[in-house]
Amino acid sequence: MSAPSSSGPPSAAGGRPSTALVRRARKVDRALAAAYPEARCELDFADAFELLVVTVLSAQTTDRRVNTTRPTLFAAYPDAPAMAAADRAHLEQILGPLGFFRAKTESLLKLSAALVADHDGEVPPRLEDLVKLPGVGRKTANVVLGNAFDVPGITVDTHFGRLARRLGWTEETDPVKVEHAVGALFPKRDWTMLSHHLIWHGRRRCHAKKPACGACPVSHWCPSFGDGPTDPVAAAALVKTQGPA
Ligand code: SF4
């Protein structure tokens, strides 16, 4: 692995991003796509309602745990009307393994009730409608848009933000500003898969505490190369390869 070929400021005078930065960012995305051809949403879902619900549930727990709970949850409450009328104690019991089950139960009851009251029980396919739903922010809305409706969306979770900064794409820390800064570097059609590539890489190699720099497919273009071990053997030991994170 070698040092980055270029770095420099994220954008020219805070305006449009420089051509060099755009090229570098797109090379990184292509390399991540090649390294992680299986990258996708790691939450299981069958339709937009399920994706909305499991994304809300994934806060403060792992996708793996949510995937384990999902079959029981949707067997009992397959759509918004059913979930809005759910027995609270039963819902709490199903969500118990996820932690914060009382708060999560309250979230799902309110969310389902709003879907029934305002959208005939269906999940709306527009960002401006999704973010008005209780407990749904831009991150969740973009996950649903990108993966259930094929509407391009950038999902700025903790991994995405950290990697965008490490890669020198932006210095912003506010998720909405990160979303706009990174969105300006890529064609809209690439936004959803870009999100998967970055999040996948963040979960498997570019960890918050010890990134596996010496085993990183994009180290050549990363100004933060060296934040983690650069020795290939030490770095390889940090790589996570098994299943959903
Ligand atoms: S693992 Fe290291 S080299 Fe790779 S993107 Fe993260 S900080 Fe950069």
Contact 160, 201 (CB under 8 A): no
Residue of 132, 139, 188, 190 with catalytic role? 139
Q: Please say if 104 is a catalytic residue.
A: no
Residues 7-51: tens digit of each pLDDT: 334 443 457 899 999 999 999 999 999 999 999 999 999 999 999
Pocket test for ligand 1, best of 24, 219, 240 (most atoms within 8 A of CB): 219
Q: Hey, what amino acid is at 181?
A: A
**How far away, in angstroms, is 223 Cα from ligand 1 center?**
8
pLDDT at residue 6, rounded to an integer:
37
Q: Can you tell me which atom of ligand 1 is nearest the CA of 211?
A: 1
Extract the residue ranges of the chain whose pLDDT is less than 70.
Answer: 1-14, 242-245
Residue from 110, 146, 113, 114 nearest 129 by CA: 114
Distance 182 CA to ligand 1 centre (A): 17
Query: What is the Cα–Cα distance from 212 to 65, expressed in whole angstroms?
Result: 25
Please confirm, yes or no, whether 27 is among the known catalytic residues.
no
Domains observed in the chain: 12-39+155-236 (1.10.1670.10), 48-148 (1.10.340.30)
CA of 216 to the centre of ligand 1 (A): 6
Contacts of 17 (CB under 8 A, 6+ apart): 10, 11, 25, 181, 184, 185
**What percent of the chain clears pLDDT 70, i.e. is strictly above it?**
93
Q: How far does the centroid of ligand 1 lie from the alpha carbon of residue 153, in Å?
A: 24
Residue 67: which residues within 8 A CB-CB, separation 6 or more?
42, 43, 44, 54, 244
Rounded to whole angstroms, the Cα distance separating 122 from 134 reads 15
**pLDDT score at 241:** 80
221: exposed, middle or buried (Cβ count in 10 Å: 0-12, 13-18, 19+):
buried
Q: To test ligand 1's pocket by mutation, which of 227, 230, 238, 240 has the most ligand atoms within 8 angstroms of CB?
A: 227
216 is in an annotated binding site: yes
Q: What is the pTM of this model?
A: 0.88
